[in-house]
Structure 1
Amino acid sequence: MNTYIKQRGFTLIEGIITIVLLAIAMITLVSFLFPQVERSAVPQYQARSAAMADAIFNEILARQFDQNSDPNGDSVYRCDEDITQVKIDPCTLATRLGPDDPLEATNPAMANDVDDFIGCWGDTTQCSNPYTYNGNNYVKPSLTSRRGELTDLVPSLSTANYAHIYATINVEDMSESPKTLKKITVSVDAGRYGKYYYIAYRGNY
């Protein structure tokens, strides 16, 4: 006796419906799950940017307030102070902030005051404008003026840990004559993982 078992497969319509449902599921997965994986790296880059800014501030704040400040830090007078019968050097003009000679412009280790670090610190793709010091026709560095690599500024930084990250530094006078305070803004750019701003102040003392 022969027994026949009737087998039924998927129809064309059922196959199309299955493909459509799978496509919807994949779109949902790509739209909601995969971006979460990328965003999970943001806290790591936030921590790295904070560590970088801290290292940069350690370098900057170790310098004196102004080019015309007392390098020994033991003077009872400060630049820009008006002391009767005592000649005090004026502080650097706002338009003249930046490196004070070619050596400071190319070697951050030679910087002696906080505004010598103004500019962009990173590779040539991150900092687009090369900077050249010209004492006769001085131009203040902009935030795109390339001053060097990050490791030139902070030699202790690991290039591998801070790849694709660069920093810009700006210094502004926070008071008119007499100048008593400078605001130092460090911006750390981590590309698609965010741009982070850190601020410190240096007093004229």
Structure 2
Amino acid sequence: MPFKPNTSCYRCKSVRVARQQLGFSLIELVIGMLVISIAIVMLTSMFFPQADRSVESLYRMRSAELAHSVMNEVWGKRFDQQTNPNGGVPACNSPLGLPCSTTASLGPDAGEERDDYNDIDDYHGLTINSFMFNSSQTYAAVYKNFNLNVNVSYVDATTQAAKLITVSVTTPSNEVITYQSVRSNY
């Protein structure tokens, strides 16, 4: 009589079930570790550096904000000390006007305080440690770890018809961003 396995044997069923639930093989574990390592490499090389880039964007935005506030203030002033404060004729270096300030005299007038700046070239030499307009705070108190330098010069020193305003802002990551505008004598 041929041998028939006893299917009702409890011990036989438990052996069969144990063989089906053995778990992962070594190859499956190695492949799983490989997939996870590739995912980690992608995360570290693509997504995590985005955080640094977002900080740089914030620094650039703050830099533009600082430069824009200084430029707006400068543009609200008259062209030169010798220009009529109410505008109109005669502009300096015009046939009826006085000569414009010399290149050597660019900068604040003697004894002039920050709130008394009345023409563009008074801003020459403005730094991050200067007081803000109508304030007891310096730019450094509001824009921590930034640096600011304002330079005003003539576009053409012989005609003195236009002034170049250069605002250089250094971000906390030492990126120097330069903003320029030209103001003509009108």
- The TM-score with structure 1 as length reference comes to 0.61
User: Take 2:150 and 2:140, find their aligned partners in 1: how far apart are those partners?
Assistant: 19
Shift of 1:177: 4.0
Matches within 5 A, 1:96-111: 96-101=105-110, 103-104=111-112, 107-111=113-117
Between the aligned residues of both structures, percent identity stands at 33
The residue aligned with 2:101 is: 92
**Residues 40, 80 of structure 1: alpha-carbon distance in 2 compared, 3 angstrom cutoff:** same
Cα deviation code 1:27-68 (max 9, x no counterpart): 998777654422221111211111211111111111111111
User: Take 2:64 and 2:175, find their aligned partners in 1: how far apart are those partners?
Assistant: 12
**Residues 158, 65 of structure 1: alpha-carbon distance in 2 compared, 3 angstrom cutoff:** closer
The residue aligned with 1:66 is: 80
The residue aligned with 2:59 is: 45
The one of 70, 76, 79 equivalent to 2:92 is: 79
The residue aligned with 1:11 is: none
User: Take 1:47 and 1:157, find their aligned partners in 2: how far apart are those partners?
Assistant: 19
The residue aligned with 2:121 is: 115
Structure 1: runs of 5+ lacking an equivalent: 1-24, 123-146
CA-based RMSD of the aligned residues comes to: 3.8
**Residues 121, 92 of structure 1: alpha-carbon distance in 2 compared, 3 angstrom cutoff:** same
The residue aligned with 2:169 is: 188
Amino acid at match of 1:119: G
Q: Is the 8 A contact 2:130 2:139 kept in 1?
A: no
Amino acid at match of 1:90: P
User: Take 1:36 and 1:177, find their aligned partners in 2: how far apart are those partners?
Assistant: 49
Structure 2: runs of 5+ lacking an equivalent: 1-38
Matches within 5 A, 1:158-169: 162-169=143-150
Relative contact order higher in (CA < 8 Å, ≥ 6 apart) = 1
Larger radius of gyration: 2
Q: Secondary structure at the match of 1:192?
A: coil
- The TM-score with structure 2 as length reference comes to 0.67
User: Take 1:160 and 1:93, find their aligned partners in 2: how far apart are those partners?
Assistant: 33
Q: Which has the higher helix share?
A: 2
Amino acid at match of 1:64: R
**Residues 154, 184 of structure 1: alpha-carbon distance in 2 compared, 3 angstrom cutoff:** farther
